Structure formats: structure tokens, C-alpha cells
Amino acid sequence: MEFIFIFLPVFMIAYAAVRKEYKNFVLFTGSVVFYSFGVKKPVYILLFLLTVLLNFIVGQFIEHSRHTKKLWLTFGILFNFWWLIFFKYWTFGTENINHFFHQSFTVKDIILPIGISFYTFQNVSYIIDVFRGKAKAEKNLINYGAYITMFPQLIAGPIVTYDHVAKELKSRTHTIQRVEDGLKTFTIGLGYKVLIANQIGGLWSDIAMIGYESVSSRLAWLGIFAYSFQLYFDFCGYSLMAIGLGRVMGFDIPRNFDHPYMSLTMTEFWRRWHITLGSWFRDYIYIPLGGNRKGSGRMVFNTFIVWLFTGLWHGASWNFVLWGMVLFLIIMSEKFWTGKTLNKIKPLGHAYMLLIIPLTWLIFAITDFHELGIYFKRLLPFLPQKTYAIMEGDYIQYWKDYWKYFAAALVFSTRLPEALYKKIKNSFITDIALLAVFWASVYCMYKGLDDPFMYFRF
């Protein structure tokens, strides 16, 4: 509410009032103010600004050094990933050293700076692209600061590479049409988050409160489908809000989702889900390792590394490592055995994904392996399990409460609403509908029916 009715209007008025040469300064300073509201410790703001300054300087040295380019690149990569490793993985690593090697090192509860995974990847991609000659080093610190700190996508993506916005940082077009399109996209994303993700996510929260051991098999399946839709509309909603605000300010932030739940294979799914993260791992990990150019054995190894890092990027917990490894095995099985059949027989592919998507998200959702085991047994009641009191017909009551959110999630995960929107987006009916979505979202937030974005934790 504060963002929509205080920060955003004040920022937009200031942004619109200044001349073109000062807009990046307003964006930079406004984004730092925005970031300061989200961090737990003021020192994290200084660290954030330090990473901006240091990567800007490293980019200059890489471009103008003849014999020390690799040295500067190595320093920049180590600097960026050191902070990510320290804040995100230090506690996890210490706990595992204590457990496996019977040590007693002190474990500190380190608070993760918000957005560090995203801005670390953008800084690293910048210095690597300058090293490769793909991008020219930015000569203006304010421009570079505006690129890294750009508040619409700062704390949860999409991950924007420098070359994607380099021209727009220097000169971009501002029109009433772009502002209108951007605000409409922002409103759609807001509706996805507040009216679908938050509401259907209530079922997953209800099941957690009941206890996984006390739900029926049918309610367990409803719950994991609810979580799958919640995660999609939460993150897709955030991405659309970022894209919309970027468009208002003259930036074309890349698309992050392409209806992934319509995929026929997990391979296709991960080309459509969190597209900018997948592109980052492809361009800066998979291809530098050799991609698929050095034989199938090396391709399998490179893919394994990518999915190991993908799992760890999402969180410092063994369930994320397991999740990444399960996805690696599924994708490899599709490449060598099942992929062609699933793509050829579409009903089979959709049925396969209907089962595999929620099962993989379950590993993603539950960090405790004991609780994860209980939930899997609830999904598959023929497995041996302990006897607990289960309310008969529990799924019926919850279906009555949540069916309308499932219906909305199912419809809006297809291409039909987007296709319809493209045809009528400039009509009066669309304007009225989006106004209704906006004020319905505001009402839900006012009533306390809003939750933090799920990807803030990453």
C-alpha cells in the first residue's frame, strides 16, 4: 500500500518532472531509497552501493587493460560471489561441517540482504560481457547505478543483462502510450499476485497448519496443486509488475514467463519458466563449460553442474540440492528416452506434466526431509505410513472454499487470456476491467490479504 500510494506517485512525479539527462539520477536515487525500506540493517545499503561502485570500476579496468583483463575479471567475480556465499551459504556450510566432521564451529544467524542473488548475477554478467567484448564498459557511474538498482526488478528479477538496456540507459522514448501499456501490465501483475496467488496460497497455508500427517490423500493433492499455482502467479505477477513499471520509465525489461504450465516436457517447462535465470545459467555457466559441443558425456556433466547451481541458487538447504538433482535426472531422461514421445503425443505430455510439476514443486516447497516424506506418503496412500486422525471428506470443504481460485488459476495459466487481451487491450471494457482488478487488489491488501513475494527469500 505504501509503495503504490506513496513511493510510486512521488517517484513518478519526480521522474516526469526532470529533463532527460537527469532521469537516471532520479531512478538511481529513488531505487536506493526503495531498497533502504526493505533491508534489515543499514550497513547492507552501504554494501549494495559498494558493489555498484566496485563493479563499475572493474568494468573500466577490464576494458582498458591489455595484460590484466583476466586478473580484474577474476577479482570482480570473486568479490561478487564472496558476498553471496557469505550471506547465503555460510551458515549452511558451517552447520554441515559441524554435522559431518563432528566439529563445533559457531553458527551465526546471518540475515540475507534482500535481492542479493539477483543483483549479484547482474553485476557478474556485466563484467563478463565487458571482458568478452559483448558490451562496452559504462562510462557514467549514475547510468550504471541506475541499471543495477532499477527498483522494479531489483529484489526479485527479471535478471536484466547490461547489453539488453545499454542503449535505453543513454536514450529512451517516453510516450503516453508506453505509460498506459506499462500501467496496464503492472495492474495485471498485481492482480496475479493479490487476487490469485495470495488467495489460492491460503490452502497451502491451511494444510501446513493442520499438519501434513492429518490430511487426506485428496486434500494433499489439492494442496500441492495450490502451491504450484501460487508460486507461478506470485512470481509471474511480480515479473509483470516489473516489466510494466519498466515500460512506464522507457525500459523494455525482458519477459520472464511464457505459460510454462502448458509445456509437454520438463525441458520445455524450464525454457518457459524464469526465462532470464535460465538464460543466465546458459550464457555464463553451460556454454563456457563447453555446452553440448564436446560430446554427450560432457553435455551431461555440464547440465549436471547447471542444475546443481540452480538448486543452490534458490536456497541454502539440501532440499534445493535434491530438487535440482531430480530436475537434472528428469531432463536427461527426456533428452535420451521420453522426450520425443511426449512431444509427439500431446495428451500424454500434458498428463505427464500434470503429475511431474506438482511433485517437483513439493521438493522445492518443504525444506525438512522428514516432513517431505510424510507429505509424499499422503500423496501416495498405498505406501506404508503411520495412522493419524483424518477428518473424513476434508477435501470437500476446502474445494468449496477454493474452487473459484483454482478455476481462475487454470484459465490464466493458458494462452487464452493473453490472446484476448491483445485484441481488446485498448478498449473501454479493458480499462474498466483493469480498474476493477486494481481496486479489488487494493481492497485485499487493505484487509490484510497480502503476503510477501515468495522470491524475496531467494
Residues marked as catalytic: 314
* Distances in whole angstroms, Cα of residue 256 to Cα of each of 117, 158, 227, 277, 278: 16, 6, 19, 8, 10
Alpha-carbon distances, residue 165 vs 103, 126, 141, 274, 295 (angstroms): 48, 11, 15, 19, 35
Residue 453 has what pLDDT?
77
pLDDT of residue 458: 62
Q: How far is CA 78 from CA 71, 81, 154, in A?
A: 11, 5, 21
Q: What is the pTM of this model?
A: 0.94
What is the per-residue burial (b if ≥16 Cβ within 10 Å, else e) of 9-25? eebbeebeeeeeeebbe
- CB 182, CB 247: distance < 8 Å: yes
Beta-strand ranges (E) seen in 212-314 are none
C-alpha grid cell, residue 180: 498506459
Q: What pLDDT is recorded for position 389?
A: 67
- State the Cα torsion 303-306-310-311 to the nearest 10°: 60
Helix (H), strand (E) counts: the chain: 21, 0
**Residue 23 Cα distances to 5, 140, 143, 367, angstroms:** 21, 13, 10, 43
Distance CA 120, CA 113 (A): 11
What's the half-sphere exposure (Cβ side, CA atoms, 13 Å) at 218?
10
Q: With beta carbons less than 8 A apart as the criterion, state whether 9 and 129 touch.
A: no
Give the Cα separation of 73 and 284 in Å (integer): 13
Closest CA to 77 of 46, 48, 49, 55: 55
* Identity at 298, one-letter amino acid code: R
| Closest-CA residue to 256 (of 267, 244, 248, 264) | 244
Measured distance CA(379)–CA(215) in Å, rounded: 10
pLDDT of residue 150: 96
Render each residue's pLDDT in the chain as its tens digit; 458 residues. Answer: 899 999 999 999 999 999 999 999 999 999 999 999 888 788 999 999 999 999 999 999 999 988 899 999 999 999 999 999 999 999 899 989 988 888 888 877 788 898 999 999 999 999 999 999 999 999 999 999 999 999 999 988 899 999 999 999 999 988 999 999 999 999 999 999 999 999 999 999 999 999 998 999 999 999 999 999 999 999 999 999 999 999 999 999 999 999 999 999 999 999 999 999 999 999 999 999 999 898 899 999 999 999 999 999 999 899 999 999 999 999 999 999 999 999 999 999 999 999 999 999 999 999 999 999 999 999 988 777 776 767 778 899 999 999 999 999 999 999 999 999 999 999 999 999 999 999 999 999 998 877 777 766 66
Q: Which three cell numbers stand for residue 186?
A: 503492472
C-alpha cell at 179: 505509460
